[in-house]
Structure 1
Amino acid sequence: MKTARSKLLDIVYRFYPRGMDKISRIHVPPGEPVYVDTEEHRRLVEAANRGRAAYPTWEAMIHRLGERYGLQNESLSLVAGASDPAYSARIWLTDNAALSFHVSLLGPYYGIHLPGIPEEEPVAREIAGEIEATYPGYQPIPPELGNEVVPDVDMDGGSMGQATIYVCLFSVVWTWVAP
């Protein structure tokens, strides 16, 4: 099944308010709307709560992968109460290169961020197989869509128009692997 740009943007806009900077209440005049008070942010918090409740499934999958690879779980902030939009982990391919993978809590999508080295392909295939077996119906987001900038969403305060679909659906952890 082909992933449509419009469907991905619909998901992004369901969880992130358009045109609103993600800044703290203390920096906004009294009575003005604040990012964390929006319906979109409430939905993001609810998705993160569902992700915490379903965390044992993620944990079992990364445990299986961790038995074969040097794995670093990047989802501990989610467990600690953050409103992350995805589970994330990293597998070290060499001492200096890792790939990251993410399973969105906002829709049936996953992503594998490759560092661009020869060792990545068999590991990426194995990760994709594990994700698809663990999360039936989930599909990857193609780079031509995932790398598209969402012009009217601010992910981290002051970055309006810089977040990509990948970052919105997988968090800024997506950027931690440089291809």
Structure 2
Amino acid sequence: MGGVWGSPGGGWGCPGGGWGGPCGSLGGAGGVCGSVGGIRGCPGGLGGPMGCPGDPGGFLRDRLGSTQCRRCLITFPDAAFAARHAKRQHPRDFAAAALRGALFVCFVCARPFASSPALLRHQRAHAPPAAPPAAAPATPAPRPAPPAPPAYACTECGRAFAREGALHRHYIRHARGEL
């Protein structure tokens, strides 16, 4: 089928054609993804949370050329606004869409993995075994030095203060005759 999006010959769901949901999933006649009744088969199932895999980021262009978020149906003036929206409002979906189809390969044995966490779990097998913790030294650790005497002392009575403000308040009490 194909045709202009939104026209009877093309679909609203997939940039390439078909009717209905993502990738023409209600019996589309092909197109970029063309799942279910399509020619190629959609690599992402029926489009996933961000929409059609043939439309990176899950955004659709309608017949006016605007870009729309598939999750919250907000229309944006251009793809940059839509991408920024997806990155801020739907970060997990945005990351998943960015990594869709990416292959994570172990640099040691060249084994491919579908996700980064799976690769990280596998790479732990290549790591050398952890060394047992070192035994404590026979001599005890040196004791810390005693705390330094307070830096501020009253010249009238010799009382020491840790902060200058406290010494100032103390002098005021001397001046009032309270001490």
TM-score (norm 1): 0.21
Rg bigger for which structure? 2
Q: Which has the higher strand share?
A: 1
TM-score (norm 2): 0.21
Q: Which of the pair has the greater relative contact order for Cα pairs under 8 Å at 6+ separation? A: 1
Q: Which has the higher helix share?
A: 1
